[in-house]
Amino acid sequence: MRNSIRRQMQVWLMIPLLILLIVSAVGSYVLSMYLSREAYDQALLNSADSIASRLIDDNGKISLRRLPRRVRALLTHDDKDQFIYEIYTEDGRLISKDQGLPKPPRLIGSGEPAVLSFELIGDDVYRVAVTRGSLPDSELGHVIIQAGETLNSRKEYRRKLLLGIVVPQMILLSLAVIAIWVSIEKGLKPLKTISEVVRRRSPTDLSPIEGDDAPDEVRTFLTALNGLFLRVHEDMEKQHRFAANAAHQLRTPLAGLKTYLEIMEKNSKDPEFTKMLHQMNDGCDRLIRTVQQLLSLSRAEQGEVLRTYEMVDLNLIVEEALTDVVPESLKRNIELDLDTQDEPVKVLGNAVSLKELTMNLLENAIKYNTEGGHVSVSVTNGDNVQLVVEDDGLGIPEAERAKVFERFYRVSMKSNLEINGSGLGLSIVSEIARLHNATVTIDSGKNSKGTKFTVTFPAELPVAATAPQKLSKL
């Protein structure tokens, strides 16, 4: 995930959103401070004016009319705050007070605006306003009114205002995160679809991927990918044609050479020369078999067998393959045992390729067996169709079982037997099994002696697509 496009897009989209949220939260806090201060400072000045309007001059004494309950509730913000006041003459003489506010640093002159400040009284912080009031019917004329209130209502208002701004922003941010997540997933879906299409393909399927409805950026990638498929397909076709032509060209002279060797061997009177001819004839047989295996492997790798799939009876295929290897088994004095089902065992595949698979397993079992050994072949039809070839020969070491399907790999054995081979038989078995979606497992034979090959065919075989695949809903 370190180089994930999805992760990078999420990071580069989420970081600006997070920064925007922090800046917005700070801005909202500053704005709530400013708005609450402006609103409550104006309310405090209005409270001071209300006090001024309630002042009366009673024979030279300033007094305050009794404030109605509604007015008191407004001054104390419904008892959330404590409201106090003081009244001074223009020359600074205190003439009325509610509680002990500190004397203002200076008195307000005529025409001057009100003065607002914060004062610490006891354990509480007060917002204090100093303003002028008039008594038209009194000889004092004007008075200085100092009013203060605690900050409880301001803090509550500021908190509500901040929540009213930040909470919707958090909701919008959450919705934006969801929208970004969905958009990224939808934007990357074409790449995921292409990956899935390529993953499901067989190694031999190099047909182009059609993406007419794909986005422009993805279509460019598909064009490059299809171009790569085309170049690889052309290269594989060249290799296949070369292998096929070479095999065909070799088979004709080899067949002629074998004929001449057989004629010379029959007409030879010299025992030593006849022995040499016999060895040459055996070598020619091995060479013909190797050419045939190379051609079979080339066809299997090119997936030609996929074009001729049909329902075939595995019993008949195994019987034909067993018949073809009888001469070799008689030469090595190997006993063959066949166990098939009474009813046809149908599998979807190519009969020629399946026969080639069976013959390679039988030849391998005969070749790596001792004289007088035993090879059994069985076909079972349970949950899955299985072909089992078991021998009591030399066996395959467990450490080398994963390597025997590699081309030209031959198991190194300490044996007096002269074993000739090309190391292609099990590679052909592996390729043909893969094309039939079958699995090949290797185990030890009975009593931990010899080798047991089990080819398991699936219940249903999905035929690989050879036509161009088209991406939908990109």
Query: Is residue 215 a part of any domain in this protein?
Result: no
CB 339 within 8 A of CB 377: yes
Residues 144 and 238 in one domain: no
Measured from the Cβ of residue 187, the count of other Cβ atoms closer than 10 Å reads 15
Examine the domain organization and report whether 151 and 266 are in the same domain.
Answer: no
Domain with residue 40: its CATH number is 3.30.450
How many whole angstroms separate alpha carbon 57 and alpha carbon 66?
14
Listed residue (143, 99, 97, 96) closest to 119, CA to CA: 99
Using only C-alpha atoms, the chain has a radius of gyration, in whole angstroms, of: 50
- Structural domain includes residue 180: no
Could you list the pLDDT tens digit for every one of the 474 residues in the chain?
Answer: 466 777 777 778 888 888 888 888 788 778 878 877 888 888 877 777 777 666 666 555 555 555 555 555 555 555 677 777 777 777 777 777 666 677 776 777 776 788 888 888 778 888 888 888 776 666 666 778 888 888 888 788 778 877 887 788 888 888 888 888 888 888 778 888 888 888 877 666 778 887 777 777 778 888 888 888 888 878 877 777 776 677 667 777 777 777 877 788 788 778 888 888 778 877 777 777 777 766 666 666 555 555 567 888 999 999 999 998 898 888 888 899 998 888 888 888 888 888 889 988 998 888 888 888 899 999 988 788 999 999 988 888 887 887 887 776 666 655 544 555 566 778 888 888 888 888 899 888 887 888 999 999 986 544 444 445 555 445
Residues 127 and 271 in one domain: no
**Beta-sheet strand order (sheet of 385-391):** 335-339, 374-381, 385-391, 451-457, 439-444
Using a cut of 0.85, tell me whether the model's pTM lies above it. Answer: no
Whether 65 is covered by a domain: the verdict is yes
User: Which DSSP helix (H) or strand (E) runs through 444?
Assistant: strand 439-444
C-alpha distances (whole Å) from 362 to each of 213, 239, 374 are 52, 29, 11
> What CATH number does residue 235 fall under?
3.30.565.10
- Classify residue 77 by burial, with Cβ atoms within 10 Å: 0-12, 13-18, 19+: buried
Domain boundary among 142, 159, 176: 159
Asked, for residue 223, whether it belongs to a domain, the answer is no
Residue 107 lies in a domain: yes
Q: Which residue, of 159, 174, 206, is where some domain finishes?
A: 159
Residues 154 and 236 occupy one common structural domain: no
Q: For residue 188, is it within any domain?
A: no
Q: What are the backbone dihedrals phi and psi of residue 202, each rounded to the nearest 5 degrees, phi first?
A: -80, 155
Residue 208 contacts residue 470 (beta carbons within 8 Å): no
Q: Tell whether 235 and 155 lie within a shared domain.
A: no
Total number of domains in the chain: 2
Determine the Cα–Cα distance for residues 146 and 108; give it in Å rounded to an integer.
Answer: 10
d(CA 392, CA 379): 18
Concatenating the DSSP letter of every residue in 403-425 gives: TTTSTT-------S------S-H
Written as one letter, the residue type at 60 is: G
Domain that holds residue 68: 5-159
Residues in the chain: 474
**140 within some domain:** yes
Residues 6+ apart with CB under 8 A from 416: none
